[in-house]
Chains A and B, each alone.
Chain A
């Protein structure tokens, strides 16, 4: 079973060269240092690009903001070496016009090469979504040294829980929008294999969605760990729910503080969490666990998709860079009613969500507060931002409790 993949990946260690041999038509030796990626042969097209151009007049998403007939005409006949096309990448944005208040990305990547082959469209989207980040001229810093984090212990009278999540993709295998069943099963195999090597506080168990018992399923639901088949059309229109629940599963350590989702919206989503305000320990475990998993897969000749321009490569352009969302559930009864709350969050580079996660409402005055940014700053920087920001919010809350006034902090330099 591993033989096909081994041939593909045998020359991959530490060099980032991906060789693909097509079935007679495409031979590309692809140097993944962002120099050039050979797009593959022509795709089916019997109509001119103008006849195929999507109707985006009702649309409000990043793809619709940046796609033009000229860009479409240039890219519509290209495909990545695996055969992923522009039409496939933008389908989710065509099918989901968006909301006047919430601007979604409207485009996904089917594989690592998508970001190169369709750079003419993805680069402006990335610039818009990530505060002007220009991958042609900038580099993204990766820093998983959690010892650099300071003041990461929150007042637990306010912070109820702390969590850090990110995603990782296995280089050489297509991403969830495009992967074949064989590739998806290989992602599962490689990841479960690596996780089985974890020990100590990270030792844990895998629960495959196709094979878990009713009792296991109920326990995972009770722990709030179980993820369900995606129903959001943002994901289903991108093809991420195909073949559900084949090769999907959840791994967690025995202590239930380190959790990995396999083959949901990304190859893997890695989550470190615990009740209370010890973000330092959460981030320590996060970094340690991630590095361990990376070491394990490297022993077998695999690696994560990463480059110095875009950081960690994930399905959605919004998750490039660190892919990191560090957050807390925090109770801010007075501050959350203050009209300056949103501005304070903005200037702290934080966002609020309801306690059910994205697109949910807050319950009472408990909010999910997390970093806004993903790309252009390192993991340490982003978690520090959350730590400093949440500490500031708690200080404001305490001041309001005592009847004192609060200040809106200055926005960070350069914003």
Chain B
């Protein structure tokens, strides 16, 4: 198996000498890591050579923010979640509402199980989107993978995506091979992803060798999009203007299952297990890895004293329209599911559909200066 010579060298120093200074830190890793856990895990490595110091580096380098609790660790491969479970299980439990090491996660990509979702008022709901990530079994993850692996992931992805047809017929644009024109078009479509600048990602090693083997694939209709080798092997996105989340979700599930079929044919399934669901780089994305959301106009509701509480009860979160860590513009918010692990894809999109429907109704009431007190939902 792979040898991590550097970790062998590091073992000459004691756990106390190597233990990170986390006194100013506020992230899940810093809350969970103790000297005992560190001492127990520091001598181990996954078969590909990933160690506990590799797992936590991003959390050591990014102390966090008093208000925003980041995860502070990443996986380097599928085995990370097993070899370092003494550290990762408690983090997973904190991040995913008490999910236990013995819990089982349900996967449900049958879009027909979604009720409604085709009737969100387009006067309020400007766009709908569902994204997830997928990791290809047998390869290490973006924090750890070598150029050879990353290129092979790209090659396999291109082959798999090239077999799609009908509404999924599309084209791949490698980041280091696109023309200026193609680049401009992708920027205008809001599809182009850039080299990560967030230190949460760069300190985890995900931007190495940029832009080698990175690219974007999308269907001709521009409603189904795949990012290759950004923060995960694949990020799969289904989106469209307006409020027809049902359609977005149908296309999402259909497309994903087709892609998975193709990868399986090449003997490369996706990383998945019945405890953690789909295995991704960041522990926050385990389970479904799904973020289903809308851009919705809620200028009155968003300034209501109970907005935060309503979101919490509906198990939803708000973001600005630029995505994570951005501010809202003009009362338009990105509203999406807060959960990833412990509930299925259908469950999570259902929560978005039902929750957004309710919030739009509340917004309409507030427009008429009516009270929404009797509409406040119970905790889901």
Q: Is the CB of B49 within 8 A of A246?
A: no
Given A41-B3, A242-B57: A180 touches B10 (CB 8 Å cut-off)? yes
Asked if A178 lies at the interface with its beta carbon under 8 angstroms from chain B, I say: yes
A42 interface residue per 8 A CB criterion: yes
Tell me if A24 is interfacial: C-beta within 8 Å of chain B.
Answer: yes
Task: Check A44 against B3 for contact (C-beta < 8 Å).
Answer: yes
Bound-complex Cα distance A178 to B5 (A): 12
Does more than half of chain A's interface fall in helix, strand or loop, or is it mixed?
Answer: loop
Interface residue A404 (Cβ < 8 Å from any Cβ of B): no
CB–CB A94/B208 < 8 A: yes
Q: Are A25 and B8 in contact (CB under 8 A)?
A: yes
Tell me which of A49-57, A134-142, A323-331 binds B: A49-57
Known contacts A44-B2, A54-B212, A95-B208; A83 and B8 CB within 8 A of each other: yes
Q: Per-residue 0/1 for B20-41: is the Cβ within 8 Å of any A Cβ (1 yes, 0 no)?
A: 1100000000000000000000
Q: A52-B148, A87-B146 are in contact. Are A23 and B20 (CB under 8 A)?
A: no
Cα A40 to Cα B5 with chains together (Å): 8
Does A301 sit at the interface, judged by CB under 8 A?
no
| B130 CB, min distance to chain A CBs, angstroms | 33
Closest partner residue, chain B, to A25 (CB atom): B8
Chain A CB count within 10 A is highest, among B8, B20, B151, B207, for B8
Q: Which of B6, B8, B60 contacts A178 (CB 8 A)?
A: B6
In chain A, positions 79-131 with a C-beta closer than 8 Å to chain B are 79, 81-84, 87, 91, 94-95
Bound together, the chains give a CA A152 to CA B4 distance in angstroms of 52
Residues A185 and B17 in contact, CB atoms below 8 Å apart: yes
Residues of A within 8 A of B203 (CB): 242
| Interface flag for B9 (CB, 8 Å) | yes
Across the two chains, which residue of chain A brings its CB closest to B210?
Answer: A95
Interface presence of B14 (CB below 8 A): yes
Interchain CA distance A8-B12 in the complex, whole Å: 10
Chain B nearest CB from A239 CB (Å) reads 9
Give which listed residue, A26, A43, A53, A241, contacts B61 with CB less than 8 A: A241
Quote the shortest CB–CB distance from B297 to chain A (angstroms): 38
A219-243 CB contact bits vs B (8 Å, 1 = yes)?
Answer: 0000000000000000011000111
Chain A residue contacts of B13, Cβ below 8 A: 4, 180, 182-183
Query: A183 vs B18: C-alpha distance in the bound complex, in angstroms?
Result: 8
Binary interface encoding of chain B residues 144-185 relative to chain A, with 1 for a CB under 8 A from any of its CBs, else 0: 001111011000000000000000000000001000000000
What is the chain A residue whose CB lies nearest that of B207? Answer: A95
Residue of B7, B17, B148 near A51 (CB, 8 A) is B148
- Of chain A, the residue at the smallest CB distance from B1 is A44
Instruction: Please state if A44 and B49 are interface contacts (CB–CB under 8 Å).
Output: yes
Please determine whether A94 and B209 come into contact, CB atoms closer than 8 angstroms.
yes
Cα-based distance from A82 to B48 in the complex (angstroms): 18
Asked if A341 is at the interface (CB within 8 A of a chain B CB), the reply is no
| A210 pairs with B8, CB closer than 8 A | no
Inter-chain CA distance A54–B208, complex, in Å, is: 11
Interface size on B, residues (CB 8 A): 39
Chain A proximity of B212: nearest CB distance (Å):
5
Q: Distance (Å) between the CB of B59 and the closest chain A CB?
A: 11
Q: Please tell me if B93 contacts chain A, counting CB pairs below 8 Å.
A: no
A254 to chain B, nearest CB (A): 29
Contacts of A13 in B (CB 8 A): none
**A48 vs B5: C-alpha distance when bound (angstroms):** 20
Q: Within 8 Å of chain B (Cβ to Cβ): is A360?
A: no
Q: Which residue of A lies closest to B147 (CB)?
A: A52
Shortest distance from the beta carbon of A3 to any chain B beta carbon, whole Å: 9
Q: Are B61 and A242 in contact (CB under 8 A)?
A: yes
Is B267 an interface residue when CB atoms closer than 8 A count as contact? no
In the bound complex, residues from chain A placing their C-beta under 8 Å from that of B149 are 46-47
Of A8, A21, A26, A47, which contacts B5 at CB under 8 A? A26
**Cα-based distance from A43 to B18 in the complex (angstroms):** 23
What chain B residues lie within 8 Å of A243 (beta carbons)?
A: 20-21, 60-61
Which of B21, B202, B208, B212 is close to A91, meaning CB atoms less than 8 Å apart?
B208
A41 to B16, CA, bound (A): 27
B209 touches A54 (CB 8 A): yes
In the complex, which residues of chain B have a beta carbon less than 8 angstroms from the beta carbon of A51? 147-148, 151-152
A356 in the interface, Cβ–Cβ < 8 Å? no
Chain B residues with Cβ below 8 Å from A180 are 9-10, 13, 18, 53
A4 to B17, CA, bound (A): 10
Report the nearest B residue to A233, measured CB to CB.
Answer: B202
In the bound complex, residues from chain B placing their C-beta under 8 Å from that of A58 are: 176
How far, in Å, is B366 (CB) from chain A's closest CB? 45
| Residues of chain B within 8 A of A181, CB atoms compared | 17-20
Contact of B147 among A54, A83, A241 (CB under 8 A): A54
Is the CB–CB distance between A244 and B3 below 8 Å? no
Residue of B nearest to A178 (CB): B6
How far does the Cβ of A212 sit from chain B's closest Cβ, in whole Å? 13
A82 touches B6 (CB 8 A): yes
CA distance A408 to B277 in the complex (A): 73
Q: A79-B5, A83-B6, A84-B6 are in contact. Are A4 and B14 (CB under 8 A)?
A: yes
A181 to B22, CA, bound (A): 13
Q: Which of A23, A42, A241 has the most CB of B within 10 A?
A: A23
- Contact in complex: A52, B10 (CB < 8 Å): no
Does B11 sit within 8 A of A, measured CB to CB?
A: yes
Over the window 55-97 of chain B, the binary record of Cβ atoms lying under 8 Å from chain A Cβ atoms (1 yes, 0 no) is: 0010011000000000000000000000000000000000000
Whether, in the assembled complex, A410 has its beta carbon less than 8 Å from a beta carbon of chain B, the answer is no
Q: Tell me if B8 and A24 are in contact (CB < 8 A).
A: yes
B148 contacts which of A21, A23, A47, A95 (Cβ < 8 Å)? A47
Q: A83 touching B5 by the CB < 8 A rule?
A: yes
- B interface footprint on A163-206 (CB within 8 Å = 1, 0 otherwise): 00000000000000010111101100000000000000000000
Can you give 12 contacting A-B residue pairs, CB < 8 Å? Answer: A8-B12, A21-B12, A46-B2, A51-B151, A51-B152, A81-B9, A82-B9, A181-B20, A182-B13, A236-B202, A241-B61, A243-B21
For the complex of A and B, list the 5 residue pairs with the smallest distance between their C-beta atoms, beginning with the closest.
A47-B148, A83-B6, A83-B5, A44-B2, A182-B17
- Residues of B in contact with A (beta carbons under 8 Å apart): 2-14, 16-21, 48-49, 53, 57, 60-61, 146-149, 151-152, 176, 202-203, 207-210, 212
User: What 4 additional pairs, Cβ within 8 angstroms, besides A47-B146, A182-B14, A237-B208?
Assistant: A22-B5, A23-B9, A52-B147, A55-B212
